[in-house]
Amino acid sequence: MKKIVSAILVIALVAICFFAGSLVRPKATVEEAAPVEQPVITDTHSDDGRTVIGISMPDRLLERWNKDGAYLRAQFEKRGYEVLLRYSNNLIDTQVDGILEMIKEGADLLVIAAVDGAALSDVLNVAKASNVPVIAYDRLIMDSDVVDYYVSFDNYKVGVLQAEYVIRVLNLMYTEETKRIEFVSGDPVDNNAKFFYQGAKDTLDPFFKDGKLVSLSGQLGFYETSTSQWSTDLAQQRLQIILNSYYPDNVRLDAVLCANDSTALGAVRALESDYTSANHVAVTGQDADIANIYNIIEGTQGMTVFKALREESVVTVALGEYLLKGIYPGEELISSSDFDFKCSFNTTDYDNGKKIVSSYLLEPITVTKDNIEKQLFESGYYRRNSAGLIYAAK
Ligand code: GAL
């Protein structure tokens, strides 16, 4: 009997061990490793005697980013910082790799103008793990709580200025006629483009509602009017299709609201090649690119929105110096700096999906044939050489 009982006990013991074992978390095997930790780049930047600024720009194709990169480098180097400047050819992976490289090279601060604002979350987690503060430059970086600040222009106001120009030139406040407009919006992955579009649309909507403004193509939404990579060619092709489909044989078009100068170049080329009416079409833009300054002087483009990029880099450098000291400023950055331009501090409007990003916003300016000399040449932003050709002052 005893033998039977002990046998039962042994079997029970074995069974208990077997089942108990199945409740104990098995030793992690390779494929079931612990949750992925962000690769912490060794904290090379804190005590190596250098103060390194990592600057990541979208590309060199759009004229403005070359200026931004040059201004930022000059402003930081003037203050004795070492600068790493990377351009990304408008490729997300190139930008991510470039940012990672700069962290490894010891960047103490990152200044990033995103190619795609929603594509940097992982690499910014590496920056966080390496205690590197991050300034989103000009374009808000989305879906990341690692972004410390955003420095840009009031992007919604850019769209408002473009729309106000159209209202004025088409006399929408007083005309009895119905006017016709088409939209050419920006890159759908550029968060700014949505603000430009919304500012313009909100300003023009009352005129659509009272029938004073129509779009014969019916293309009024952001995505259906957007232009991948701000491409001049894509803007031109899309508008050529619209002109041939909806404005043939002298059907009049009164305005094309383009979100920036590279798309405005495409619109002007489409109007030159495929628009058959004799009337002048009001074309808007943004960035005061040199080719578009010529078009404004000649009259094929009506206006551009000028953003004094030097101001954007001055604010970024002033903010960067606070962050390098571990100080996270508010309004006091503006009052404590010798800014000779208007700058506002915004803590409500720029929700990047993870946090409301504190932002410093600058004022965009409408430039037309009437004020181009004062705003662009007398201000020293542009010069003419002896042949009369325009170039951007350093
Ligand atoms: C936007 C930027 C504009 C313009 C555009 C591309 O993000 O804010 O100034 O540069 O990209 O032309």
Model confidence pLDDT, tens digit, residues 223-259: 999 999 999 999 999 999 999 999 998 899 999 999 9
Residue 192 CA: nearest ligand 1 atom is 7
Report the pLDDT value the prediction gives residue 127, as an integer from 0 to 100. Answer: 97
- Widest Cα–Cα separation across the chain: 117
pLDDT in tens, 13-66: 444 444 433 333 333 332 343 444 555 554 445 566 789 999 999 999 888 999
The per-residue pLDDT for 25 is: 31
Confidence (pTM)? 0.85
Asked if 278 and 288 count as a contact pair (C-beta separation under 8 A), the reply is no
pLDDT for position 48: 66
Does any ligand 1 atom lie closer than 6 A to the CB of residue 65?
A: no
Q: Determine the Cα–Cα distance for residues 299 and 289; give it in Å rounded to an integer.
A: 15
Phi-psi region of 82 (alpha: psi -120 to 50; beta: other; left: phi over 0): beta
Question: Of the residues 62, 142, 194, which should be mutated to test ligand 1's pocket, given the most ligand atoms within 8 Å of the CB?
Answer: 62
Which protein residue has the closest C-alpha to ligand 1 atom 1? 192
**Res 249: pLDDT:** 86
**386 CA from centroid of ligand 1 (Å):** 30
Q: Which residues of the chain have pLDDT under 70?
A: 1-48
CB of 179 closer than 6 A to ligand 1?
Answer: no
CB burial of 57-76 (b: ≥16 within 10 Å; e: otherwise) equals: bbbeebbbbebbbbbbbebb
C-alpha 394 – ligand 1 centre gap (Å): 20
Three-class secondary structure assignment of the chain: CHHHHHHHHHHHHHHHHHHHHHHCCCCCCHHHCCCCCCCCCCCCCCCCCCCEEEEEECCCCCHHHHHHHHHHHHHHHHCCCEEEEEECCCCHHHHHHHHHHHHHCCCCEEEECCCCCCCCHHHHHHHHHCCCCEEEECCCCCCCCCCCEEEEECHHHHHHHHHHHHHHHCCCCCCCCCEEEEEECCCCCCHHHHHHHHHHHHHHHHHHHCCCEECCCCCCCHHHHCCHHHCHHHHHHHHHHHHHHHCCCCCCCCEEEECCHHHHHHHHHHHHHHCCCCCCCEECCCCCCHHHHHHHHHCCCCEEEECCHHHHHHHHHHHHHHHHCCCCCCCHHHHCCCCCCCEEEECCCCECCCCECCEEEECCEEEECCCHHHHHHHCCCEEECCCCCEEECC
Q: Residues 235-239: contacts with CB within 8 Å, 24+ apart?
A: 235/184, 235/262, 235/263, 235/264, 235/265, 235/266, 235/267, 235/270, 236/265, 236/266, 236/267, 236/269, 236/270, 237/266, 237/270, 238/184, 238/266, 239/182, 239/184, 239/266, 239/267, 239/270, 239/271, 239/274
Give me the pLDDT at residue 41, please: 57
- Phi–psi pair at 278, nearest 5 degrees: -90, -15
The whole-number pLDDT of residue 28 equals 31
Those residues with Cβ within 8 angstroms of residue 180's Cβ, 6 or more apart along the chain or in another chain? 213, 214, 215, 216, 247, 252, 253, 254, 255
Distance 260 CA to ligand 1 centre (A): 7
Whether 289 lines ligand 1, by a CB cut-off of 6 Å, is: no
260 CB less than 6 Å from ligand 1? yes
pLDDT of residue 250: 87
Residue 336's pLDDT is 86
Residue to mutate (ligand 1; options 112, 142, 190; most atoms within 8 A of CB): 190
Q: Whose CA is nearest to atom 12 of ligand 1?
A: 260
Beta carbon of 56 within 6 Å of any ligand 1 atom: no
Q: Is the CB of 138 under 6 A from ligand 1?
A: yes
139 lines ligand 1 (CB under 6 A): yes
Rounded Cα gap, residues 182 and 14, in angstroms? 79
